[in-house]
Amino acid sequence: MSWASERARQEFLNCVDRQLGGLDYLERREIIDELAIHLLDIEERLAATGSEGTDAAARAIATMGDPVRIGAKLRDEHLASRLMLRDAFLTGLPLLILGAITAFVPVLDELRRLWGANSDPFQPLLVLGAMLIGSVWLLRRVDHSVFAVLTGILAVFTLVPVTRIVQVTSQWPVSALWLGLFFLIAVPGLLAFVVRFGAFRTSLALLGGVGGYGVYAWGGPGGHVVYPSAEDTFFLLGLPLIVVPFLGTVALSIAPRRWLQATGYGALLASWCVILLFHMIQFDARFGPLPSPKLVSSQSPPLQVSEMISVPVLIASVVALLGIHLLIRLQDRAAIRSFIDRLPVR
Amino acid sequence: MEAIALFSSREPQRGSAELLVLALLQDRPMYGYEIIRELQARSEGYFQLEEGLLYPTLHRLERERLARGEWRTVGGRRRRYYALTETGLATLTSAASEWQTFTEQFLRLIVPRRGGSHVVGE
C-alpha cells in the first residue's frame, strides 16, 4: 500500500474515531481495528481487479460510506448499552438500597468488631470503598459471566456458612479475607448479573443473599440471641432465603417462554412474601415469650443497628418488590411496543 | 429491478437488515467484510449498502445478545467473527414466521385480479 492510500485510510479512521466520544480507549481501538481491516479487505479486492494505490483507497473509503455517520451510529450503539445498564440500576435501586441496609450494616458492625469497638467508624467505610473501586476495576477486565458464576458460588456456598464462621470464631485474618472476597467478587458479580439477567432477577438474587446474611448477622455476633442451632437456622431460614430465590432466578432466566417467565416471577414474588412474613414472625418471636430463641449469655446486650431497623426494612422489602414488579410490567409493555415496531406492518 | 439500500433510512422495513445478517450467520461465524460479500452474492446485488454501516448493526446484535463477536486470527489477519446465538436463532425463527404470514396475507390482498377488477374511467 502506498503512503497516500495509507494516509487516506488513516484520515477516514480518524474521522470515525472523533465521533466515538464517551467510549473508553479499548472500545475505540477495537472499533477502529475492525473498520481498518474491512478497508484493507476492500482495497485488496480492488487491487485484484486492477485498481491500485490512491484510487483503490478512495474507492474503498467511498464504499464504506460517511465516516461521521458510521462513527455516530457506533457511538450510539455502545452508549445505548450503558444507558441500559443505568436503567437496570435505576430499576433495581430500591432493592439495592435495601441490600445496603440489610447486608452492609451487619458487615460494618462486623468490621468494627474486628478493628475494635473504639476504632474510627470511617475506617471500615474506607476499606469498603477501596474494595468497591477494586471490584469495578476487575469488572472492566474480566468477562461478565465469570463474575456471575463466582457470585452464585459465593452466594450459596460462602456467604452464609462463612458469615457464621466469622461470627463464631472471630478469627480476624479469616474474617477479613472472606469479607474482602465478598466485596471484591460479589459486588462486580452482582453488576454482571444485572447486565446478564436484568435488574429484577438480580434484585431477587441479591435480596436472597443479603436476607440470608441478615438472618445470620442477627443470630450471632457478640453473643446475642441465637436460634436453637446453626443447622436449624441454616435449614429453616438461610436455605430458603438464599437457595430458593437464587436457583429460581437462574431457572427463570433460561425459561423459554415469556408467559412462563411471567408466571414464575409471580410465584417467586408470592413465595418471597411468605418467606418475609415468616421472617417477621421469627423476629417478633425473638422479643416475645416464645421458647425457640434463647440467650447465649445472661447479660442482655444492646440492640445492634441492624436489629433496630429490621421491621421497617422487611415492610419496605415487600413494598419494593411490588414496585419492582410494577416496573417490570411497564418494561414489558415497552418491549411489546418495540416488538410491534419491528414487525413489517406499519 | 431497483436495488434496495440496507442499513439506511431508505431501508423499506425497519429491522430487515438485522434479520438478513442473522440469517447469514446461521451457516457459520463470519466477519464484517465476509457478511457483505455473502449478502451481495446471495441477493445477486439486490441489496446495496454503505459497508461501514454494517458495523453499528453488528454491534447492536451483539448488545442484544442475538450474535456474539470474537476476535480470531486467521491467515495472519486478526478479525472479529460474529456467530449466531441461541437467542438470535429463536428471534430469527420467530421473525421469519411473522414475515411469511404477513407476506402471504399481503400478497393475497394486493395482487390484481384479472377480469374481476371493478374499475371506473378517469
In angstroms, rounded to a whole number, what is the distance separating the alpha carbons of residues B106 and B122?
27
- Residue-wise pLDDT tens digits, A125-180: 555 555 555 555 544 544 444 444 444 444 444 444 444 444 544 444 555 555 55
Residue of B nearest to A43 (CA): B33
Strand bridging mode B67-74 / B30-31: unpaired
Q: Are A195 and A140 in contact (CB under 8 A)?
A: no
Q: Report the pLDDT value the prediction gives residue B32, as an integer from 0 to 100.
A: 93
* Residues linked to residue B5 through DSSP beta bridges, in sequence order: B48
Asked if A324 contacts A200 with a C-beta cutoff of 8 angstroms, the reply is yes
Q: How confident is the model at residue B17 (pLDDT cuts 50, 70, 90)?
A: confident
Look at residues A73, A72, A62, A69 and name the one whose alpha carbon lies nearest to residue A39: A62
Q: How far is B6 from chain A (nearest CA, A)?
A: 12
What are residue A295's DSSP bridge partners? A225
For residues A259-278, average pLDDT: 51
Residue contact A70–B63, C-beta within 8 A: no
B35-44 long-range contacts, Cβ below 8 Å, gap at least 24? B35/B82, B39/B6
Cell numbers linked to A254: 433460561
Closest in A16, A37, A80 to B79, CB measured: A37
> If residue B78 lies in a helix (H) or strand (E), which one and from where to where?
strand B77-84
Among residues A181, A192, A182, A90, the alpha carbon closest in space to that of A141 is found at A192
Phi, psi torsion values for A234, nearest 5 degrees: -65, -50
Partner-chain contact B59 A77, CB within 8 Å? yes
Q: 467508624: which residue's cell?
A: A121
Chain A residue numbers touching B77 (CB-CB < 8 A)? 37, 40
**Radius of gyration for chain B, computed over Cα atoms and rounded to the nearest angstrom:** 18
Do the Cβ atoms of A34 and B32 come within 8 Å?
yes
CB spacing of B53 vs A70 below 8 angstroms: yes
pLDDT digits (tens, 9 = 90+) for A318-343: 555 555 555 545 544 554 455 445 54
Distances (CA, A) of B23 to A129, A313, A335, B58, B61: 47, 50, 23, 13, 12
Q: What element of type H or E holds B82?
A: strand B77-84
CA A305 to chain centre: 25
Task: State the pLDDT confidence band at A71, using cuts at 50, 70 and 90.
Answer: very high
Cell 478512495, residue located: A58
Residue pLDDT, tens place only, A168-199: 444 445 555 555 555 555 555 555 555 555 55
In whole angstroms, give the CA distance from residue A263 to residue A240.
20
A19-23, A112-116, B80-84: range with lowest mean pLDDT: A112-116
Confidence of residue A206 (pLDDT cuts 50, 70, 90): low
The pTM for the full model equals: 0.46
Chain A neighbours among B 22-41 (CB < 8 Å)? 31-33
Residue A83, sorted as left (phi over 0), alpha (psi -120 to 50) or beta, turns out to be alpha
